[in-house]
A = this chain, B = another copy of it.
Amino acid sequence: MAIKERKEREKQDMRNLIIESATQLFLKHGYDKTSIRNIADDIEYSPATIYLYFKDKDEIFYVIHENAFVILDGLLRKNQSIENPIERLHAIGKTYMQFAFDNPDYYDLMFIMRAPLSQIKSEEQWKSGECAFGYLIDTIGECLDKKLVKPVDKMLLSISTWSFVHGLVSLYIRERMCIVPMEDSQIKQMLDVAVENYVENLRA
């Protein structure tokens, strides 16, 4: 029954083809402007074919979403070599911010876009997300354990830290920082300083 396995492989290949095309189009033009017909044109199949491999557009969204979390998680964990946890925390913040500026469309998809909840709400699926957030919690836990930062509830500090950097990044990405009377390069520089300042302020 090698045919069944080949078919299974071909099915997965087709899914990969669709995801690759969708990701590329999405990173070039953004999610909203990537239509099923665009993807179909790109892979030279009819639009209806895509629905043989994915339930709907949300399911494609979700796979890209999952991939993005794997990428971010990998980047964040590259800071594991930094021994001092508060310095590591600082590096994590900078890495997170850099990821957002390098891949604004990924960031949008991950943390800003109104998400297809049916897919995301299930906790299983958030695994890689929980993983990245879990890494932040662990690092902050280490800072607290070693009394390097002022004592405070671990979860509170984790949410606060994430929210702080997300706030800076998302206001920038969604172009609300334009009310600040500064040039773009100056603003980006200030956002960097803001993260630095925030982490320094946590110190015990």
Contact = CB atoms under 8 A, between A and B. Distances in A.
A150 B202 CA distance: 13
A130 interface: yes
20 contacts: A111-B171, A111-B176, A112-B170, A115-B175, A117-B175, A126-B178, A126-B179, A152-B197, A156-B190, A156-B193, A159-B177, A159-B180, A159-B190, A160-B198, A162-B167, A163-B168, A163-B194, A165-B167, A166-B167, A170-B170
Contacts of A11: none
A114 B167 CA distance: 15
Q: Specify how many copies of this chain sit in the oligomer.
A: 2
Nearest to A201: B201
Given A112-B112, A121-B178, A164 B160 contact: yes
Sorted nearest first, the 10 A-B pairs with minimum C-beta distance are: A167-B167, A163-B167, A166-B167, A163-B168, A160-B194, A164-B164, A133-B179, A130-B179, A126-B179, A164-B167
Given A111-B176, A155-B182, A160-B198, 20 more contacts: A32-B114, A112-B174, A117-B175, A120-B175, A126-B178, A126-B179, A129-B179, A133-B179, A150-B201, A156-B193, A159-B180, A159-B194, A160-B168, A160-B194, A160-B197, A162-B167, A163-B168, A163-B171, A164-B167, A167-B170
A113 interface: yes
